[in-house]
A and B are shown apart, each in its own frame.
Chain A
């Protein structure tokens, strides 16, 4: 009975937040055993709960390396570089280098050669157009007959 009286007193102090850590330990010890006075049993879950909660531990290993989050930033940087490089390599607007002549004499000859080649081909085309005269004659005959 002595003990119960003491516990009652401690509980009163406990709810006024006036107990010391040692006194609170005493309360937890009392309530962790099965033989608890009937009128105090309502408090038992509270103290048993506090004792059991103390035992939970952090099961994961502590790693001091930054996690995925940081990698994601680096992956996006790498992706940007890859895009820029591929666009630069396959650039369709890149000007074609046609080369040039140092000596103006040779340059003139080459230009002339190129223009002659062009006009020769052009004349070839004009000869073919000559055949169109046949159509013209045929058309005029028909128009006259009418």
Chain B
């Protein structure tokens, strides 16, 4: 595979890899490094790349493994920066502040979830992959993914409703 061909294959899903890395590592800088690293590794494997059924799924699995390794290593322990800069042009100005605030709250909630639940939510609710794709990426079976997903969604709901009822913020 030539360089230009490789880039054409990789470009459509590099953002997805980055978002997945950010979901797990939280910090933007860390996520950028991880994405770069995964793309580099993918490029070194470019001769065998055509063997894989889906390069995207393979890249996503690599990202997942890389980020989990990073989290395990002590190196990453002192690099947990939380970034919360959102842009949202859909809602009216009056509602904007309110929405931005609740989005920040959502980030906090997401970061409290276990890694497994975070990954499933990321792949399903944000990237909208099918269950069989997610199963391939996370090396899990579909039933386990549905169970994890349901738990993750309910965990988010629980915290949201608590917050909504108290009306904090």
- Interface size class for chain B? 35 or more
- Option from B10, B107, B128, B157 in Cβ contact (under 8 Å) with A24: B128
When A45-B106, A49-B103 are in contact, do A17 and B36 touch as well, CB less than 8 Å? no
**A67 to B40 CA separation, bound complex (whole angstroms):** 10
**A49 to B7 CA separation, bound complex (whole angstroms):** 30
**A15 to B156 CA separation, bound complex (whole angstroms):** 10
Question: Would you call A42 an interface residue if the criterion is a C-beta within 8 Å of the partner chain's C-beta atoms?
Answer: yes
* CB atoms of A62 and B7 under 8 A apart: yes
Query: What A residues does B153 contact at CB under 8 A?
Result: 14-15, 17
Task: List the interface of chain B (C-beta within 8 A of A).
Answer: 3, 6-7, 10-11, 14-15, 17-19, 22, 32, 35-36, 39-40, 43, 86-88, 90-92, 95, 99, 102-103, 105-107, 110, 124-128, 130, 146-147, 149-150, 153-154, 156-157, 160-161, 164-165
Task: List the interface of chain A (C-beta within 8 A of B).
Answer: 14-18, 21, 24-25, 32, 34, 41-46, 48-50, 52-60, 62-64, 66-67
